C-alpha cells in the first residue's frame, strides 16, 4: 500500500459528498487498540489521502470515548505527515457569526483524564507545544477557505472541554472572560498533541456552529448538525483547493519539536 502523506479528520459528510475517488476501507492494528471505524484511503484533487471520521461511522463515539491515540498512530502507519482537521466549534467572540470558519492558532486544555501522550512511561518526553498548529498548513487552508466562500478568521484560541454536554453559563463566562478562549471544542485536544508527538503537522478548520450560551438560545445538538451540513459543500471546495497546494516537502518546523525533546532526553540519560 503506497503511503498517504495527507490525512483529513472530520465527519461523515465527506462520504455523502462523494469527495474521495477510489476510496478503500482500511483497518489497522495499533498498540492502543482499534481506531475509529470508517478509516479509508482514496484520492482527492489528484492526491492520495487518508480520511478518518473521528467519531466513527454514524457518529457513534462521544468525544471522551474517541480512541485518539489509536487514530493518530494508525495515520502515522499509513505514512501521514500532515493532518487537516475539520471540526464544529462554539464561538465566544462577538465578531464570530454562525457559519464562519476559524483557522485556530492556540488551544487551552480543559479536559480531564484523557490519554494525551504516547510517552506515558517509563520513557518521559516533554514536547514543546508553544505553537501547536502548522503555520504552513494554516496559510494554505485560510486562502482556500476564503476562495470557497467562507468568512474566515485566521487565528483563534480553542478551549477543549470534556463534553458531551454543553457548558454552563458560569463555565462559559470563565472560558471567555478569564481564560480568553475564542472557541469551544470537545475534540481538538489531545488530537493535536498526539500528532505533534509523532512529528506530524496539524491544522484545524473550525466551523462556528453556535454561539454557546451567548446566543439567543442555549445550544442544541440538532442545530449544530444542521450548520455543519450547510457548510459541507464549502468544506468540500476548501479541501479540493487546499490539498493540491500542500507541497510534498515540508518547510515548517513541526517535526523538530519532538526530535528536540527526544534529543534532550538522550542528553539527560548520558
pLDDT score recorded for residue 270: 47
| Positions marked catalytic | 210, 212
Provide the domain count of the chain. 1
Q: Is residue 1 part of a domain?
A: no
Domain assignment of residue 85, given as a range: 6-269
Checking if the pLDDT of 206 tops 50, the result is yes
240 domain-assigned: yes
CA distances from residue 47 to 71, 141, 200, 237, 257 in whole angstroms, order as listed: 21, 16, 18, 15, 27
Phi (first) and psi of residue 263, to 5 degrees? -65, -40
* For residue 267, pLDDT beyond 60: no
Alpha-carbon distances of 151 from 32, 158, 238, rounded to whole Å: 38, 18, 12
123 assigned to some structural domain: yes
Q: Is residue 94 part of a domain?
A: yes
C-alpha cell of residue 208: 462556528
Give the whole-number percent of the chain exceeding pLDDT 90.
80
pLDDT tens across 57-113, in order? 888 999 999 999 999 999 999 999 999 999 999 999 999 999 999 999 999 999 998
- What Rg do the C-alpha atoms of the chain give, in angstroms? 18
Query: Exposed (0-12), middle (13-18) or buried (19+): which is 254, by Cβ within 10 Å?
Result: buried
The rounded distance, in Å, linking the Cα atoms of 54 and 191 is 10
Whether residue 185 is contained in a domain is answered as yes
What is the structure's pLDDT at 33? 97
3-56: pLDDT as tens digits:
899 999 997 556 666 688 898 999 999 999 999 999 999 998 889 999 999 999
Instruction: Judge whether 128 lies within some domain.
Output: yes
Going from the C-alpha of 8 to that of each of 20, 77, 235, the distances in angstroms are 11, 15, 11
What is each CA distance from 35 to 40, 54, 67, 75, 228, in whole angstroms?
12, 9, 6, 10, 23
CA angle in degrees (0–180, nearest 5) for 53-118-259: 110
Which CATH number characterizes residue 169's domain? 3.40.50.1580
Q: pTM for the whole thing?
A: 0.94
pLDDT at 266: 54
Amino acid at each position: 500500500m503506497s503511503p498517504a502523506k495527507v490525512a483529513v479528520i472530520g465527519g461523515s459528510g465527506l462520504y455523502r459528498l462523494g469527495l474521495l475517488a477510489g476510496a478503500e476501507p482500511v483497518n489497522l492494528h495499533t498498540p492502543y487498540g482499534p481506531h475509529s471505524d470508517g478509516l479509508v484511503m482514496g484520492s482527492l484533487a489528484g492526491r492520495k489521502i487518508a480520511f478518518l471520521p473521528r467519531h466513527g461511522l454514524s457518529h457513534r463515539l462521544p468525544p471522551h470515548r474517541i480512541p485518539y491515540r489509536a487514530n493518530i498512530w494508525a495515520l502515522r502507519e499509513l505514512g501521514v505527515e500532515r493532518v487537516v482537521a475539520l471540526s464544529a466549534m462554539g464561538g465566544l467572540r462577538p465578531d464570530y457569526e454562525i457559519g464562519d470558519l476559524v483557522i485556530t492558532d492556540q488551544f487551552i486544555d480543559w479536559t480531564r483524564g484523557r490519554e494525551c501522550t504516547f510517552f506515558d512511561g517509563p520513557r518521559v518526553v516533554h514536547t514543546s507545544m508553544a505553537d501547536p498548529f502548522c503555520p504552513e498548513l494554516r496559510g494554505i487552508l485560510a486562502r482556500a477557505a476564503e476562495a470557497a466562500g467562507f468568512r474566515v478568521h485566521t487565528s483563534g484560541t480553542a478551549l477543549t472541554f470534556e463534553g458531551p454536554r454543553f457548558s454552563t453559563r458560569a463555565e462559559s463566562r470563565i472560558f471567555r472572560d478569564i481564560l480568553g478562549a475564542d472557541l469551544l471544542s470537545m475534540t481538538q485536544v489531545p488530537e493535536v498533541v498526539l500528532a505533534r508527538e509523532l512529528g506530524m503537522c496539524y491544522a484545524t478548520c473550525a466551523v462556528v456552529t453556535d454561539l454557546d450560551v451567548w446566543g439567543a438560545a442555549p445550544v442544541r445538538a440538532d442545530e449544530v448538525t444542521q450548520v455543519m451540513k450547510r457548510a459541507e459543500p464549502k468544506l468540500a471546495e476548501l479541501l479540493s483547493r487546499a490539498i493540491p497546494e500542500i507541497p510534498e516537502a515540508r518547510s515548517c518546523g513541526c517535526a523538530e519539536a519532538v526530535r528536540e525533546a527526544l534529543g534532550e532526553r538522550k542528553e539527560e540519560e548520558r
